[in-house]
Amino acid sequence: MAEIIVVPHTHWDREWYLPFERYRYRLVKLVDKLLEILRR
């Protein structure tokens, strides 16, 4: 049986399939949420 390795990741290449502004908005929301979680 073959061994399978899964490597989770994200791809934040701007303008990959959405305009730059929409990526920026999503990134800012993500960072804000992350900071909120870390402050707890």
10-residue mean pLDDT profile of the chain (40 residues): values are: 87 73 88 93
**Cα 17 from Cα 23, distance rounded (Å):** 9
Q: What is the pLDDT of residue 14?
A: 63
Residue 35: give the domain boundaries.
1-40
The CA distances from residue 32 to 4, 14, 20, 29, 37, in Å, are 35, 19, 18, 5, 9
Q: What is the pLDDT of residue 20?
A: 82
DSSP one-letter code for 9:
-
**Cα 25 from Cα 23, distance rounded (Å):** 5
- Amino acid at residue number 3: E
Q: What is the pLDDT of residue 24?
A: 86
- Tally of structural domains, the chain: 1
